[in-house]
Amino acid sequence: MAGTFAFYFRTQNEPDTFLVRIADASVHLCALAIEREEGRQQIDRLVRFDALTGLPNRQYLYHHLDKLLSGNEPELAVFFLDINRFRKVNESLGYSAGDQVIITLANRLQERFGPHHFISRVGGAQFVVVASACRVDEASHLAELMQHIVGAEMSAAGQTFELKACIGISHSIGGDRETLLAHAESAMERVRESGGSYQFFNPELNQAVMQRLKLGMALRNAITEGHLRLEYQPQIRAADGQVYGFEALTRWHDPHAGDISPGTFIPLAEETGEIEHIGLWALREVCRQLFEWRKKGTNVSAVSVNLSAHNFRKPDLPRYIADLLNEYQLPGNILTIEITESAMMELTDEMLARVREIRAMGAGVSMDDFGTGFSSLASLAYLPVTEVKIDKSFIDRFARDRRVNALVEAVVSIGHNLDLTVVAEGVENTHQHQQLRKMGCSVLQGFLFSRPLSANTLPVWLEAYRSPLQDAQS
């Protein structure tokens, strides 16, 4: 029942037809008015509050900050919280479980800080806390409390786990809301890069973040405007010194900044998600180049292409590769897909199924940078890989470090027992070459044989190449 509608008479009367009609019409109009008001309140709530958690949203946060800054608030601290690697929760447990985790976090923050501070949700796994009349030392204490609350044991979808937040803090007397929020987010981004817990904003930090943002925009343009190119580093069979294949390496020449190091732009691409587009571009460019080489009589037996976990999140990746092979009339075994060890261990069952689809086309799958992540040798038995690449950091040390030498030898031995090709990266001198060949390593790659080659110089190099073993015999 929405309410009651009554007539009052000074004397006792029976309601006549006219009054009944008035009552019916009035009740209908009142019901419409109530429904309209409830709708207005619901719209107002949707505009001001987050639908999932019930916390204030970004618009309400703006209103709250404007109100505080227009008064005489002595000191103000803005905390920008981002939950680390929350995407993995959604991918491994499902989005419903991910929503439940967000609700639990919101409730915990509201319960602890709500009575005294303003809590809002501004993104998928991002919250902003505003603390008024807050000194710097108090802000540090609050950040530690927030980290403790986020890190408390969490359960969802039958799994128990712990989370961690990156927290950026903007502390100010006065200012405007855009600056306060931008500074807090900049500090949070720096924490995410450094792997820390929380950090206060400072001007030097802002300059570095702005440079990184500009570089990210330039990278996005580089993909669409043709500023990326591929170079190809030879891979040599250790047993006979013949060419095994090539690894395609992405290079970026910016018209204004010049050559940008892969060590700079690859992590940035991972962070921004552009790595997915780079991977797809590299696949197409490799297939196109293989077609051109084959048309001109240059026989390249295989090329490795680096992809990221981002690529394997897309259900249509196997179809994309199959279409490229068909378009450029290439056999599946001419491609090897490389994915780093750490990324390989993050793949869900669905993503591993896509890897197996790619294997079924005849393409190889290589675990790159083996030994730098958290997998074990036992994982090689069940992962759908055909190749293991020993990271350069081990090759640099194995000749002078007995334990590293034993590890490299173990990887080579287990790789052969599992019918895997074992590739050693970063081979730079003949001693490394001889030792790895003696161990039985399958394939070698490094400056000893060649630096990465452009698409135009590769055929020339291939025609002129002589095996080091041939040179030794002659």
Question: Could you say which of 145, 175, 201 is where a domain stops?
Answer: 201
Paired sense of beta strands 126-132 and 118-123, if any: antiparallel
- The reply to whether 422 and 281 lie within a common domain is yes
- The reply to whether 41 and 185 lie within a common domain is no
Lowest average pLDDT, out of 2-11, 46-55, 173-182, goes to 2-11
User: Residue 14 above 90 pLDDT?
Assistant: no
pLDDT score recorded for residue 317: 96
Cα–Cα distance measured from residue 390 to residue 232, given in angstroms and rounded to the nearest whole number: 19
Domain holding 29, by residue range, is 1-48
| Backbone angles phi and psi of 211, in degrees to 5 | -65, -40
Instruction: Tell me, yes or no, whether 445 lies in a domain.
Output: yes
Contact assessment for residue 423 and residue 390, using Cβ atoms and an 8 Å cutoff: yes
DSSP codes joined into one string, 44-57: HHHHHB-TTT-SB-
First vs last Cα of the chain: how many Å apart? 101
pLDDT score recorded for residue 316: 94
Contact assessment for residue 234 and residue 217, using Cβ atoms and an 8 Å cutoff: no
- The reply to whether 355 and 387 lie within a common domain is yes
Paired sense of beta strands 303-306 and 335-340, if any: parallel
pLDDT score recorded for residue 272: 79
CATH number at residue 122: 3.30.70.270
- In this prediction, residues 151-179 reach a mean pLDDT of 85
Write the pLDDT tens digit of every residue in 311-347.
998 999 999 999 999 999 999 999 999 998 778 877 8
Instruction: Tell me, yes or no, whether 14 lies in a domain.
Output: yes
pLDDT score recorded for residue 268: 84
Instruction: Tell me, yes or no, whether 53 lies in a domain.
Output: no
- In this prediction, residues 34-58 reach a mean pLDDT of 73
Instruction: Tell me, yes or no, whether 471 lies in a domain.
Output: no
Place 136 in a pLDDT band, splitting at 50, 70 and 90: confident
- In this prediction, residues 83-105 reach a mean pLDDT of 87
Question: Could you say which of 148, 174, 201 is where a domain stops?
Answer: 201
- Predicted TM-score (pTM) of this structure: 0.63
CATH number at residue 272: 3.20.20.450
Place 46 in a pLDDT band, splitting at 50, 70 and 90: low
Write the pLDDT tens digit of every residue in 354-390.
999 999 999 999 998 776 655 556 677 778 899 999 9
Write the pLDDT tens digit of every residue in 289-308.
999 999 999 999 999 999 99
Q: What angle do CA 262, 454, 325 make, to 5 degrees?
A: 90
Beta strands in 144-275 (DSSP E): 154-156, 159-161, 165-172, 198-200, 228-237, 243-254, 258-260
pLDDT score recorded for residue 3: 66
- The reply to whether 153 and 231 lie within a common domain is no
Cα–Cα distance measured from residue 14 to residue 42, given in angstroms and rounded to the nearest whole number: 41
Better-predicted residue by pLDDT, 211 or 471: 211
If one counts every other C-beta atom within 10 angstroms of the C-beta of residue 407, the result is 17
- In this prediction, residues 260-278 reach a mean pLDDT of 88
Closest CA to 443 of 230, 240, 307: 240
Cα–Cα distance measured from residue 237 to residue 301, given in angstroms and rounded to the nearest whole number: 12
- The reply to whether 43 and 108 lie within a common domain is no
- The reply to whether 192 and 266 lie within a common domain is no
Instruction: Tell me, yes or no, whether 434 lies in a domain.
Output: yes
As a three-state string, the secondary structure of 373-413 is CCCCHHHHHCCCCCEEEECHHHHHHCCCCHHHHHHHHHHHH
Contact assessment for residue 91 and residue 29, using Cβ atoms and an 8 Å cutoff: no
As a whole number, the mean pLDDT across the chain is 86
- The reply to whether 43 and 167 lie within a common domain is no
Instruction: Tell me, yes or no, whether 207 lies in a domain.
Output: no
Paired sense of beta strands 126-132 and 335-340, if any: unpaired
% the chain with pLDDT above 90: 45
246-270 burial: b if 16+ Cβ within 10 Å, else e: bbbbbbbeeeeeeebeeeebbebbb
Give the position of tokens 């976990």: 309
pLDDT score recorded for residue 88: 80
Domains identified in the chain, total number: 3
Contact assessment for residue 236 and residue 244, using Cβ atoms and an 8 Å cutoff: yes
Cα–Cα distance measured from residue 393 to residue 87, given in angstroms and rounded to the nearest whole number: 30
pLDDT score recorded for residue 460: 96
Cα–Cα distance measured from residue 453 to residue 240, given in angstroms and rounded to the nearest whole number: 22
- The reply to whether 118 and 243 lie within a common domain is no
Instruction: Tell me, yes or no, whether 43 lies in a domain.
Output: yes
The listed range with the strongest mean pLDDT (75-79, 202-206, 456-460, 467-471) is: 456-460
Cα–Cα distance measured from residue 99 to residue 192, given in angstroms and rounded to the nearest whole number: 22
Better-predicted residue by pLDDT, 161 or 425: 425
- In this prediction, residues 58-77 reach a mean pLDDT of 84
Question: Could you say which of 180, 201, 222 is where a domain stops?
Answer: 201
- The reply to whether 274 and 413 lie within a common domain is yes
**CA atoms in the 13 A half-sphere facing the CB of 32:** 6
Q: What type of residue is 188?
A: M
Token couple for 460: 């020339």
Paired sense of beta strands 421-425 and 154-156, if any: unpaired
- The reply to whether 184 and 224 lie within a common domain is no
Helix (H) or strand (E) holding 338: strand 335-340
Classify the C-alpha dihedral 64-69-75-80 as positive or negative. Answer: positive
Give the position of tokens 């680096």: 306
Q: What type of residue is 305?
A: V
3-state secondary structure of 444: strand
Instruction: Tell me, yes or no, whether 206 lies in a domain.
Output: no
Give the position of tokens 């030994």: 371
- The reply to whether 374 and 229 lie within a common domain is yes
DSSP codes joined into one string, 112-179: HHTTTSEEEEEETTEEEEEEES--HHHHHHHHHHHHHHHHS-EEETTEEE---EEEEEEEESS--HHH
pLDDT score recorded for residue 32: 67
- The reply to whether 145 and 294 lie within a common domain is no
Lowest average pLDDT, out of 302-306, 444-448, 468-472, goes to 468-472
pLDDT score recorded for residue 89: 84
CA 244 to each of CA 21, 114, 154: distance values in angstroms, whole numbers, following the listed order = 93, 63, 49
